[in-house]
Amino acid sequence: MRTELTYAATLPANTSTAVLVPGREHLPEELFSADELTYIHRQLELKSTLVGINKFTHQLYLVVTEPKRKGTETQEALRKAGNALHQRLQADKVDHVVLLDGADGEASLFVAEGLVLSNYSFQRYKTQKATPPTLTTVTITGVGVSQTQVTDLANLLEAVYKTRDLINTPPNMQTPTLLSEQIQEMLDGSGVTTEVLDLVQIQSLKMGGLLSVSQASDESPTFNILEWKPENATNAQPVILVGKGVVYDTGGLSLKPTPNSMDYMKSDMSGAAAVTGTLYALAHNKVPLHVIGLIPATDNLISGKGFAPGDVITMHSGHTVEVLNTDAEGRLILADALHFAKRYNPALVIDIATLTGAAARAVGREGIVMMGTADDLLKTDLKLAGELAHERLVEFPLWEEYQEHLKSDIADLKNIGGAEAGAISAGKFLEYFTNYPWVHLDIAGTAYLLSPDSYRGKHATGSSVRLLYHFLTSQATA
C-alpha cells in the first residue's frame, strides 16, 4: 500500500514516535526527560491534546484522548486523533512514525486507521506540481497489539485505498469494459475468481434493465461475477454482495436538473467499487466465508437510441417495468442482478448503491440508509458493524403500503414513486425482485464528499467497505 502499515515487537530507536495515552493520569513519564515533562504538563494545562517535542534526531508526540461514553465512540475519537496527528506529521515532514499505546491497549490500531486513511491521495493524473504525502510508513508497537491484527488492518485499509482509486478514476478512463478490467487487476492473485459477461451473454440472459440503461451508449455493458470461496468456508449458502456499477450518469433523457449535478457522476459506481474492495479485504485476510459479488456495469448517456420515459421494458425476472424517469436507472440494473442472485440460493444478499438523492437529504453524509427483509438479528449485526466502523446505519421501513407508490397502469410496476419517500420507494422497487433475506444500503450521502471530513477525506471515501468487512467477518466466526 502507498502508506505501509507494519508491526514491530520493540520500539525502533531514533524514529519519530507518537505515544497514545487515555488521559494525563496514564502519562508514561519514563519516556520523557524532566524538562520535557514540564513542557508537556504546561501544554496539557492549556487543554492541548497533541504535544510535539523535537528530539533533533526525530520527533516525539504525545496524543491524549479521553474515553467516551461508548466504546465505539472512543474508537472514532481515536481515528479522529489519527487525522489530527496526520496534519502535524505533514507539517513536520515526517516520513515514518511509530505508534505506541502508553496504556498497552489497542488504541494504536484505531489511531493508525485514522492516520492511514487521512494519508490517502489520488494524484494519478497530475503531471505538474504533484505533492504526494510525505508520510510513507506507520509502525505499530506495544504489548497490546499482535502482528496478525496489524496485518489484517493493513489489508483492510489497502482495500479502502483501492476502492477510492476506482471511484476517483474519471469516466473517460473507466468505461464498463475498463471497469471490469480494473476489477480483475485489483483482485488478481487474491484468490477471488472473476467472470465477466459480455453484451451477447447479457442479451441471452434477457437482462432488460441493464440492456435498456446501456442503449444510449456506444460502450457495451458488462456483468461481473466475483467469487471468494475458501476451502474452510463456514457457510453452506453464500452471502452475495450486489454493487451498482453506473460508471457515469447523465440522467439519460430525464437529464439531471442542474449544470453541476453531473460533475461528480463518475462516483455512481461507488457500490461496485465497495463490493470489489470488500472482497479484496476478505480474500487477503483469508476470512472463511463464501462470498459472491455481482456487479452490473454501464453508463447512462443521452442519444436518439436511448430508452425514454414511457417505455416498458422486460426485466431478467420476466416482469415488466414502465420507465417514467431514466435517471432512476440504478434500480433497473440492480433489479436484474438481484434476480440473477436467486440461482445461488443465497443465505443473504446485500446491495450497495448510490441510489437516491432522497437518502442523502434524509441523513446527510453522516449515515447510510438501510432497509430490507433480512431477520432482525442479521440487521442488528449489520448495525453493530456500522457502529464499529463509524459507518452508521439508519433503517427505513418497507411497509406494504409503499408498493402502491410503484403501481403502474400498464405494466407490473413503474420505476419511480412520487415526491415523498423516494429512498423507500427505490428500496421497495428492489424488494420486488428478491425472495431471500435481503438488505439494501443506500450510500448516496457518504460515498463521495465535496469537502474534507476528517479521515474520510475529500471525494471518494470508500464508504461501506469497512462496514461490510466487519459484518462479514463476524458472520464467519458466528
E strand spans, 144-233: 193-197, 222-228
d(CA 95, CA 98): 10
Show Cβ contacts of residue 450 under 8 Å, excluding neighbours closer than 6 positions: 264, 458, 459
Per the DSSP assignment, residues forming a β-bridge with 242 are 294, 351
Please give the grid coordinates belonging to residue 438.
Answer: 435481503
On whether the CB atoms of residues 108 and 6 are closer than 8 A, the answer is no
| Pairing of β 222-228 and β 291-300 | antiparallel
CA 434: distance to chain centroid?
A: 23
Output phi, psi for 322, to 5 deg: -85, 120
Show Cβ contacts of residue 393 under 8 Å, excluding neighbours closer than 6 positions: 367, 368, 369, 370, 382, 383, 386, 441, 467
On whether the CB atoms of residues 182 and 226 are closer than 8 A, the answer is no
477 CB-contact burial (10 Å; exposed 0-12 / middle 13-18 / buried 19+)? exposed
Neighbouring CB atoms inside 10 A of 12's CB total: 13
d(CA 32, CA 27): 10
Tell the residue number behind the cell numbers 446505519, with chain if given: 393
d(CA 378, CA 371): 12
Tell the residue number behind the cell numbers 519519530, with chain if given: 16
Task: Cite the active site residues.
Answer: 256, 331
Show Cβ contacts of residue 312 under 8 Å, excluding neighbours closer than 6 positions: 320, 321, 322, 323, 410, 411
Strand ordering across the sheet containing 320-322: 312-314, 320-322, 413-414
E strand spans, 125-273: 137-141, 193-197, 222-228, 239-243, 245-249
On whether the CB atoms of residues 153 and 20 are closer than 8 A, the answer is no
| Pairing of β 438-442 and β 368-372 | antiparallel
